[in-house]
């Protein structure tokens, strides 16, 4: 899972990146494209408890990658976003857009005033315009291909035309592609385009200390809005664990931004966790909600998906209540599931497979 942290200059992108990754990147805007990447363990007490039960040689948490992407300033215009920056943005699974709400006369806003809704709309417009340029270019290529009458099947070209004309109509109304339904076949056709307005978006309102969050209506699908005190969270992230706990208690913060943001990131992308557990290793894995047991097996190793026979499954809560795999089996909570089984959050799986050589 790769999430790009974006926003206008001086909005607090790198501040949030430092809070999430405990990095110490400089927070001043440079006016040029800069990319900082941090890989973070996903905090999950269930992994800790499984490790206590199985006492494995290795304990491995799920990972999330945050990418601090500087260079967007709302000035791409009719040419679209520049190639190097666009390439970085297109690789992300989703975006965290940091929106400035704090006032600071020593840190001027790029538009000379703080207006969160305006800044959100500007970023949406930039992504929509960039996607519209791509769609128009694709429609031109399809038209040329259809005229030539050689190469691909005519019916396939026409199906693509219908799809891209629908995308064009949507984008021309300044509606992000997140808001339209795309079926599985259409998704395959679009997989190589990396449309920016189609990617899930988490809006983070960056507040000063003790500042209340404004009410922001953001009525788009696959989107969320949250708020945090970015500078304070970054300061807390740099502290030793005991001092951080005291700080959180003093400021009435229930949990560090890292925990909350990762949970929101999972929800945003429609993901959840399952586990494998044994004497060698206890590990958390990330899979999309609705994934089947073979698809989950494929997250562990492609051979497990190819040779999938069935999965031994026990719910995490049942395993913790009963205290061991043996007791789970005795009480009928350890069960065999086939290829149609939909993996649930917290399932502990053992994949049975056979790969022919």
Encode pLDDT of 291-344 as tens digits: 999 999 999 999 999 999 999 999 999 999 999 999 999 999 999 999 999 999
Q: What is the pLDDT of residue 77?
A: 62
What whole-number distance in Å separates Cα of residue 308 and Cα of residue 303? 8
Encode pLDDT of 99-148 as tens digits: 999 999 888 898 999 999 999 999 999 999 999 999 999 999 999 888 88
Domains in the chain: boundaries:
290-353
E strand or H helix that includes residue 316? helix 316-322
CA dihedral 118, 120, 126, 128 (to 10 degrees): -120
E strand or H helix that includes residue 318? helix 316-322
Which residue do the tokens 């044994």 mark? 278
Are the C-beta atoms of residues 284 and 47 closer than 8 Å to each other? Answer: yes
Residues 6 or more apart in contact with residue 87 via CB below 8 angstroms: none
**Exposure of 205 in the CB half-sphere (CA atoms within 13 A):** 22
Encode pLDDT of 145-199 as tens digits: 888 876 788 888 889 999 999 999 999 999 999 999 999 899 999 988 999 999 9
Q: What is the pLDDT of residue 31?
A: 60
Encode pLDDT of 80-100 as tens digits: 787 889 999 999 999 999 999
Pick the CATH number of 290-353 from 3.40.50.2300, 3.10.20.30, 3.40.50.1820, 3.40.50.40: 3.10.20.30
What whole-number distance in Å separates Cα of residue 142 and Cα of residue 320? 57
What whole-number distance in Å separates Cα of residue 295 and Cα of residue 283? 17
Are the C-beta atoms of residues 277 and 295 closer than 8 Å to each other? Answer: no
What whole-number distance in Å separates Cα of residue 208 and Cα of residue 227? 10
- DSSP conformational letter for 218: -
**DSSP 3-state assignment of 19?**
helix
Q: What is the pLDDT of residue 63?
A: 93
The count of other CB atoms within 10 Å of the CB of residue 344 is 12
What whole-number distance in Å separates Cα of residue 170 and Cα of residue 198? 11
Q: What is the pLDDT of residue 150?
A: 66
- Which phi and psi angles does 161 have, rounded to 5°? -60, -45
What whole-number distance in Å separates Cα of residue 209 and Cα of residue 88? 32
- DSSP conformational letter for 310: E
Structure tokens at 6: 């974006």
What whole-number distance in Å separates Cα of residue 83 and Cα of residue 85? 6
* 226: nearest Cα among 251, 201, 244: 201
């Amino acid at each position: 899972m790769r999430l790009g942290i974006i926003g206008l200059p001086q909005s607090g992108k790198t501040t949030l990146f430092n809070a999430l990754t405990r990095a110490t990147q400089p927070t001043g805007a440079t006016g040029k494209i800069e990319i900082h990447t941090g890989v973070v363990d996903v905090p999950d007490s269930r992994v800790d408890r499984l490790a206590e039960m199985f006492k494995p040689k290795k304990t491995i948490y799920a990972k999330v990658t945050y990418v601090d992407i500087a260079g967007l300033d709302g000035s791409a215009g009719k040419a679209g976003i520049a190639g190097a920056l666009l390439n970085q943005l297109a690789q992300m699974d989703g975006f965290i857009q940091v929106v400035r709400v704090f006032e600071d006369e020593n840190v001027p806003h790029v538009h000379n005033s703080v207006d969160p809704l305006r800044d959100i709309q500007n970023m949406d417009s930039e992504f929509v315009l960039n996607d519209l340029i791509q769609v128009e270019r694709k429609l031109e290529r399809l038209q040329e291909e259809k005229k030539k009458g050689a190469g691909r099947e005519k019916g396939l070209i026409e199906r693509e035309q219908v799809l891209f004309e629908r995308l064009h109509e949507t984008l021309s109304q300044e509606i992000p592609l997140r808001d339209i339904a795309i079926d599985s076949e259409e998704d395959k056709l679009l997989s190589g385009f990396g449309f920016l307005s189609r990617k899930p978006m988490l809006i983070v309102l960056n507040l000063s200390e003790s500042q209340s969050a404004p009410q922001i209506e953001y009525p788009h699908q696959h989107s969320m809005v949250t708020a945090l005190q970015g500078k304070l969270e970054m300061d807390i992230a740099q502290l030793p664990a005991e001092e951080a706990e005291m700080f959180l208690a003093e400021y009435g913060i229930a949990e560090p931004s890292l925990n909350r943001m990762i949970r929101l990131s999972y929800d945003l992308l429609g993901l959840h966790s399952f586990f494998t557990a044994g004497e060698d290793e206890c590990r958390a894995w990330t899979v999309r909600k609705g994934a089947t047991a073979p698809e989950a097996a494929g997250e562990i190793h492609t051979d497990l998906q190819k040779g999938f026979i069935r999965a031994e499954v026990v719910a995490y809560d049942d395993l913790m209540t009963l205290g061991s795999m043996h007791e789970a089996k005795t009480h009928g909570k350890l069960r065999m599931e086939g290829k149609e089984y939909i993996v649930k959050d917290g399932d502990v799986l053992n994949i049975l497979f056979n790969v022919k050589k």
